[in-house]
Structures are given as structure tokens and as C-alpha cells.
Copies of this chain bind each other. A is one copy, B any other.
Amino acid sequence: MKQLSESVVQTVVRPRPQESHKGTFGRVLIVGGNAQFGGAAIMAASAAVYAGAGLVTVATDPVNRSALHARLPEAMIVPFNDRQALKAALAAATVIVIGPGLGTDEAALAILQTTLGGITPAQTLILDGSAITLVAEHQLPVEFQNVVWTPHQMEWQRLSGLAVKEQTVAANTKAAAAIAGTVIVKAHRTQIFSPTASYENTTGSAAMATGGSGDTLTGILAAFIAQFGYVDQTVCAAVYAHSAIADGLAATNYVVLPSMVIAALPHYMQRIAASGAQA
């Protein structure tokens, strides 16, 4: 496995082209946030906005509207159980995330199926959290090219059939190869398996072990792909950046909350872009 370093972020996060507009930096759709887990969608959307996605829409339970806009007026909102509205939002997006706080009930399954049915080859789909569990449980076919999976170890067990103890590099590599797209197995040292290579993250600490860390990574990943394209380097840069920011914050914070990482994103990315531009 290749070991990630800051250079992958420097390669990806470059100064923005001046002749551009918000559409240049992509349209992210986050599908998630039921009545119990609304915060997950809010955190993923916040991370996407602060990581530079041009436009971010959240398809969610309408009960999450006030909190979403109170934290993030920059986002737009559609009710996720309005099938027509969801389809329209899917069609308008360049990167779609499904899963943060989606839950695993019948309504969630229906939303996932609508989403899977609305993806086109030009779009990138990120499957996260309960969407992974639902795909595994219901054996849903996911056969797009541009797909990223972001399971933690238990979700990876459900998707791959590998018990957490069996999740060696060799076993993970083999299991990931059987699945479309890229798999990010989140752990103390997160591993990334793309169709052509595998990578191990070198940053991150136990200070990040708190609810919402995964949702935050997913939002960063969506924004990075929206801006920099779906290639291995982009995925690696998102994983590295998320943990590197948290490591910086962990120097003065016993626990690093998602809202701290989100607030720090624009500074981190600008520091990287400026240092890369000088190099």
C-alpha cells in the first residue's frame, strides 16, 4: 500500500482558476438525515460547503430544515421523500452522497433506490453509512463506474462479508476488487482501495473518534471530487486532509468535533494551495 503524505493534497488542492463561477466547482447533493439522525446530513453538507463545493443541496427530512439553515444558509434543501423533487435534485448534481443519517427503514430504502436509479455515468456517487448497510442487506446492485464507498469497519463487514478481525490488507484488497469503484475502509489507519491501487492514510488520531467524523469526511470527499474530479489522488487528498486538520486541532483539543474540522477547512486548503503554488 502506498503511504499518503501531504504532497497528495498539494497536488490536488491548487489555486482556483480565476475565470470561473460557482458552477465550475461542482454541485453536490447530500441525501440523508432522517428524523433521528439529521445532524449527520448537516455535518456532511457543512463539510462540503467549507471544502469549496460550488453549490450544495441537502435532500433530507424536512424536520431538519431549520437546523440546517441556522448552521448553513449556504445550502439548499429538498424533502427527500418527495420523489419528484429528489429526482430533480439528482439530475442537477455532479456529485451525489447518499447515507449520512439516512437510516435503514423502508423509507430509507425507497430513497436509496430512487437515488441509485437516477445516477448517470457523468456523476460520481458516494455511498456512506446506512446506505452501505442497506446495499449489503438488500443486495442492491451498484454498478456505476464513479463510485466511492466509505464504510467503517462494521459497515465493511456487512458489505464485504469480512469480520473485523479478518480485515487484513490482503483480504480487503480482494474484497474491494469485487466491488465497483473505490472503497475507503475507515479505521485507526484508514485504507483506500481503488480499482488500480491501494493507499494507507498516515494521519488521524483517537481525538477524532466521535460521532460525525465519518459524515465530515464524506462531505470533504464530495467537495473535493466536485472540484478536482474523481481520480485516486482526489480521494486520497480528502482522506489525508480530513485527518491532518484533525491532528492539528488535537494538539489543543482532547476531542476534535466535526464542527471544528469544518471551520478549519478553508484555512487548511488555502495554506496547502499557497504552498503548492510556490513549489
Number of interface residues of A (CB under 8 A): 75
A159: shortest Cβ distance to chain B, in Å?
Answer: 17
A249 — nearest CB in chain B belongs to which residue? B266
Is A11 in the interface zone, CB < 8 Å from B?
no
Bound complex: CA A25 to CA B53 (Å): 32
Given known A257-B266, A270-B253, contact A76–B207 (CB-CB < 8 A): no
Contact with A21, one of B46, B49, B209, B259 (Cβ below 8 angstroms)? B209
Determine, out of A64-72, A104-112, A128-136, the stretch whose residues face the partner at the interface.
A64-72
Q: Number of copies of this chain in the oligomer?
A: 4
Name the B residues within 8 Å of A19 (CB-CB): 188
- Which of A64, A74, A188, A210 is packed against the most chain B CB atoms within 10 Å? A74
A51: shortest Cβ distance to chain B, in Å?
Answer: 8
Are A52 and B205 within 8 A (Cβ)? no
Are A209 and B25 within 8 A (Cβ)? yes
Are A75 and B39 within 8 A (Cβ)? yes
Name the B residues within 8 Å of A55 (CB-CB): 210-211
Bound complex: CA A255 to CA B22 (Å): 11
Is A273 in the interface zone, CB < 8 Å from B?
yes
A277: shortest Cβ distance to chain B, in Å?
Answer: 12
Are A211 and B258 within 8 A (Cβ)? no
Are A209 and B270 within 8 A (Cβ)? no
Instruction: Find residues 31-51 in chain A having any chain B CB closer than 8 Å to their own CB.
Output: 35-40, 42-43, 46, 49-51
Contact with A206, one of B17, B56, B73 (Cβ below 8 angstroms)? B17
A48: shortest Cβ distance to chain B, in Å?
Answer: 11
Bound complex: CA A117 to CA B38 (Å): 28
- Which of A24, A40, A65, A250 is packed against the most chain B CB atoms within 10 Å? A65
Is A98 in the interface zone, CB < 8 Å from B?
no
Are B70 and A255 within 8 A (Cβ)? no
Is A157 in the interface zone, CB < 8 Å from B?
no
Given known A211-B54, A269-B255, contact A65–B38 (CB-CB < 8 A): yes
Are A76 and B254 within 8 A (Cβ)? no
A89: shortest Cβ distance to chain B, in Å?
Answer: 9
Name the B residues within 8 Å of A278 (CB-CB): none
Are B74 and A43 within 8 A (Cβ)? yes
Identify the 5 closest CB pairs spanning chains A and B, nearest first. A67-B69, A39-B73, A254-B269, A16-B206, A253-B266
Chain A residues close to B by CB (< 8 Å): 13, 16-22, 24-25, 35-40, 42-43, 46, 49-56, 62-78, 152-153, 187-188, 205-207, 209-213, 250-260, 265-270, 272-273
